[in-house]
Amino acid sequence: MLQIQENISLKPYNSFGIEVKAAYFAEIFTEEELTELFQNDLIKSQKLFVIGGGSNVLFTHDYEGLVIKISIKGVSAEIVDKRIMVTAGAGEVWNDFVQYCVTHGFAGIENLSLIPGTVGASPIQNIGAYGVELKDVFESCTAFDMETGNIKTFFYDDCHFGYRESIFKGALKGRYIITSVTFHLSAEAKINTSYGAIEAELLSKGIEKPDIADVSAAVSHIRVSKLPDPSTIGNAGSFFKNPVIEKYEFADIVAKHPDVVHYPSADDKIKLAAGWLIEQCGWKGKKVGNTGTWKNQALVLVNHGGATGMEVYDLSEQIIDSVKSTFGVTLEREVNIL
């Protein structure tokens, strides 16, 4: 049954562990509860913010409105034209869903193991890691239209996916709430170990012909070695996007910094490793007040305990200024700032 609570702490609902409050809070377990919520008169007078796992948001102050937490669960699978269509509720924990697929032999998302957050956030952000992006396996999603109260299905072409981008972050930002996502996976794995340290990790364990479980385990081990656990130290994973620049811009940078870490990107552009840029500016493992960057990965900003959202935001500003001054590149935050 739908409940709307007042003056609720959001500390348990954001992975940075920032202590802020929401004037109103509602946790949604079904599409029917969403419909009921949007028929409530309170909706008409409050600004709204939707969260899943709270792993991609930084609250800088109390939220004077209604926070809606999506906790719609459930996973189902069917075979369609030799492809495995797997549908998951938006509130499913992303890594739990990945492990469900790996256990059942559904290949395609094993490289996305241990990414924080929920299934519902995955197409919004077009999450990606180790050479794979959500768009590579996306079939469709259902979403609640906050203006009309209807449920709409979005297919691949509707979503306008880009690097950590989608229509849900662009033209349709703030209009739809994703309720489920369907992925096209396969029983025949195309193992991808070429990106990052996956191959080295597998070889260190003597695995020459990995299956998807091996790849998932390798990715998980790499991520754990680099990233802090949000249950012990507040963070939102990668705080900045890897900047994508033109080749002529890259030529200027590589002339001054020959060892710059980079990768090919779409449209004949170059992607730079934001973590490397930040580390070269001396930020890796640096502590500033109650916040800082993680000792093993400069791309991750952390709450050492008691940090406010503004402290974290101010640190991110300093890092952006530093990278801009050193490399002429402007970093863009991946985390949503409120």
**Residue among 315, 317, 318, 322 at smallest CA distance from 301:** 315
Among this protein's residues, is 325 annotated catalytic? Answer: no
Give the neighbor-by-neighbor strand order of the sheet with 138-145.
Answer: 75-80, 83-89, 176-185, 138-145, 151-155
Which helix (H) or strand (E) element contains residue 205? none
Q: Of 238, 311, 316, 333, which residue is the catalytic one?
A: 238
Q: Torsion-angle region of residue 49: left (phi > 0), alpha (psi -120 to 50) or beta? A: beta
Q: Of 19, 36, 249, 334, which residue is the catalytic one?
A: 334
Q: Of 164, 223, 316, 333, which residue is the catalytic one?
A: 164
Query: Could you write out the DSSP letters of every residue in 85-115?
Result: EEEEETTSBHHHHHHHHHHTT-BS-GGGTT-
**Residue among 181, 34, 178 at smallest CA distance from 101:** 181
Which helix (H) or strand (E) element contains residue 124? helix 122-125
Beta-bridge partner residues of 244:
271
Query: 90 with 72: CB under 8 angstroms?
Result: yes
Among this protein's residues, is 238 annotated catalytic? Answer: yes
Annotated active-site positions, please? 164, 238, 334
